[in-house]
Amino acid sequence: MNAEVLGPPLPLWESLGTASARLFANSARNRRLVLSLLLTPICAAAAAEPPHSPPLEIQEVACPAAHGAQAPVLATGPDGTVWMAWAEPLSPASAGWALRCVEFDSAIGQWRRPHSVVTGRRLNPGGIDLPSLAAGGEGQLFVAWSEPATGTGGHRSFFCSSSDSGLTWTAPASLSREDSDVSYPALAFLADGRVLAAWLDRNGQPGSDAGAGLFLRFLTGSLASAPDWLLDGRSSGGSQPALAPLLDGGAVLAYRGLSETGVEDPRIARLHGRKWENRHTICSDGWKGGGAEAGGPRMAADGGRLVAAWRTANAIDPHILVSTSPDAGARFLAPLQVNADFPEGLPGVALLHDGAALLVWCERDSKGSANAWVRRLAPDFSLNSPLLLGPSSPRSPEPVPQIAVVHDYAGDVFAAQAIIAYHASGGPSEVRTVILNVPEADLLSVADANCHCLPSPMQLIGYSLLGTVVYVAYDRTSVTIESDTMPGVLDAGRHVFAIDPELAKVLQPGRECLAHILRKDGKWRLYDARLLETAR
């Protein structure tokens, strides 16, 4: 097939490489063939490193957390605003803790004035049972946390919300309606504005090796009054789940399961419409007896593209592994090992729109020194050299560093930027925050010498679509296109897209087209479309 309309070439489909892109442009059947060839489930791979890659760079950002602060967590709103929440002691002699939150001002590269979420709580923020923070549009924030339950030896989890960018908060409410032994909360704002929560409930079974139930409920929307829903009754008791929203209105949930034989493999499930489906193991690690050291996979999503990172193996030979999926978690590539020395705690992960992922983790070297590191996973699934961030705190037994994208790469000459937060040794607050500058254009240029896949700015806006034009509106402001499924983005069927009137002159009913689509303010817009010639 040949394009009739001149313009820049379409983007690579989910960063699978130039050869895959050519096949994708030929037919939807070839696209499925590419996936079946590339996504054969294996669980071992070696990391290739591009030569002479430009280095990542960091710059310090003053952290507003008080001395003794712990458990920083980051969240990104739909407008790209990054927020941070953390726990800090009320005073050196007090047993009470406060949860605080703050917005990052990307224009000046500094945190704004922090606000208190709750104060005087009996938190236990030293492990991997972290608070969870979710950011929505127009200043909406939700925070969830767990704390010891009085006289039971278990835990309870609570949540509260703000509608004015953290200035004021609702009173804490129980996360679970049954509230027996609830911990490890996770929150996410879905594309339609609803807030989804997940957590573990040991139901009177102390110890992580006894397993726990993985429960969910909506905190807002029409289903907010529905009872708690058990998704998996055999979840690892020391595994905080991770939620990532998808553009199709659903979400993916990553957690660590627990088999009847005691194997704790990372798992994933997808909320699609009103059903949870496609529940399966990300990778069969075969880890037994991980307990609290195991932790759940960390995850990030962009459209239907996912990246998951997790700590695995036994105490003698642990690893940080990373894998990606181009189809909303239906299949994952064979994972790569990220760390060099003995990893501690859990990794953090973020995803750029060009398909590159950023990973942050802590590890201890042969001399016993603990440090935090960051590394880039390229769109071609190769790992760049790691960058040392600095010493991590020896007082944090299970460090869980965090990373969130501040400025995404948009096909221009500027670097992408992310912010990293982790528990560091020394400093005024013991929570350190740094800006990570990623020279994405230069890094892609190095790879482009071999694959010729450097994307243009146009290619990095929105998502690619292959479909058939059904109807162009009389006023030339919208078009109806029938397309196959774009996992995590659009279901198969007919969809209406807003268009510019000039593009209406190009689109012809009954013809196949390739285009880009972009979701903005809850609506889809189609642009950069070109018709495909029919087979002769």
SS (H, E, C) 443-498: HHHHHHHHHCCCCCCHHHCCEEEEEEEEEECCCCCEEEEEECCECCCECCEEEEEE
Residues belonging to the chain: 536
Which has the higher per-residue pLDDT, 261 or 116? 116
Reported in sequence order, the residue ranges of 202-318 that DSSP labels E, i.e. its strands, are: 212-218, 229-235, 242-245, 251-256, 266-272, 275-281, 298-302, 305-312
Q: What pLDDT score does 40 carry?
A: 36
pLDDT (average), residues 357-374: 93
Give, for 516, the enclosing helix (H) or strand (E): strand 512-520
Q: What pLDDT score does 425 carry?
A: 76
pLDDT (average), residues 377-405: 89
pLDDT (average), residues 464-473: 95
Which has the higher per-residue pLDDT, 519 or 52? 519
Q: What pLDDT score does 27 carry?
A: 41
Residue 91 phi, psi (nearest 5): -160, 160
Q: What pLDDT score does 3 carry?
A: 36
Q: What is the pLDDT of residues 46-72, one digit of tens each?
A: 344 445 678 899 999 999 999 888 899
pLDDT (average), residues 343-356: 94
pLDDT (average), residues 76-101: 90
What's the predicted TM-score (pTM) here? 0.87
pLDDT (average), residues 185-202: 95
Residue 7 clears pLDDT 90, i.e. is over it: no
Which segment of 16-30, 185-199, 266-280, 322-336 scores lowest on mean pLDDT? Answer: 16-30
Q: Which two tokens stand for residue 66?
A: 């008080």
Residue 343 clears pLDDT 70, i.e. is over it: yes
pLDDT (average), residues 66-90: 93
pLDDT (average), residues 375-397: 88
Residue 477 clears pLDDT 60, i.e. is over it: yes
Question: Which domains occur in the chain, in start order?
Answer: 13-38+462-531 (2.40.50.140), 57-447 (2.120.10.10)
Residue 165 clears pLDDT 90, i.e. is over it: yes
Residue 276 clears pLDDT 80, i.e. is over it: yes
How many other C-beta atoms are found inside a 10 Å radius of the C-beta of residue 62?
Answer: 10
Q: What pLDDT score does 536 carry?
A: 58
Burial status of residue 120 (CB atoms within 10 A of its CB: 0-12, 13-18, 19 or more): exposed
Q: What pLDDT score does 166 carry?
A: 97
Q: What is the pLDDT of residues 424-440, one digit of tens each?
A: 877 777 899 999 999 99
Contact 466, 1 (CB under 8 A): no
Contact 421, 431 (CB under 8 A): yes
Q: What pLDDT score does 179 carry?
A: 66
Q: What pLDDT score does 95 carry?
A: 76
**Residue 273: left (phi > 0), alpha (psi -120 to 50), or beta?**
left
Q: What pLDDT score does 411 carry?
A: 82
Which segment of 31-35, 274-278, 524-528 scores lowest on mean pLDDT? Answer: 31-35
Q: What is the pLDDT of residues 106-139, one digit of tens each?
A: 999 999 999 999 998 888 666 678 899 999 989 9
> How far is Cα 226 from Cα 236, in angstroms, rounded to an integer?
25
Residue 387 clears pLDDT 90, i.e. is over it: yes
How much is the mean pLDDT over the chain? 84
**Residue 193: left (phi > 0), alpha (psi -120 to 50), or beta?**
left
Look at residues 402, 398, 429, 403 and name the one whose alpha carbon lies nearest to residue 416. 403
Q: What pLDDT score does 20 carry?
A: 35
Which has the higher per-residue pLDDT, 90 or 171? 171
Burial 420-447 (b: 16+ CB within 10 A, else e): bbbbbeeeebbbbbbbbbbbbbebbebb
Provide CB contacts within 8 A for 520, sequence distance 6+: none
Residue 332 clears pLDDT 90, i.e. is over it: yes
Under the banding of pLDDT at 50, 70 and 90, the label for residue 263 is: confident
Which has the higher per-residue pLDDT, 29 or 421? 421
Alpha helices in 163-304 (DSSP H): none
Q: What pLDDT score does 2 carry?
A: 36
Which has the higher per-residue pLDDT, 460 or 275? 275
Contact 304, 252 (CB under 8 A): no
How many other C-beta atoms are found inside a 10 Å radius of the C-beta of residue 464?
Answer: 21
Task: Give the rounded percent of residues in the chain with a pLDDT score beyond 90.
Answer: 59
Q: What pLDDT score does 535 carry?
A: 63
Q: What pLDDT score does 46 carry?
A: 39
> How far is Cα 334 from Cα 109, in angstroms, rounded to an integer?
37
Q: How far is CA 102 from the centre of its chain?
A: 20
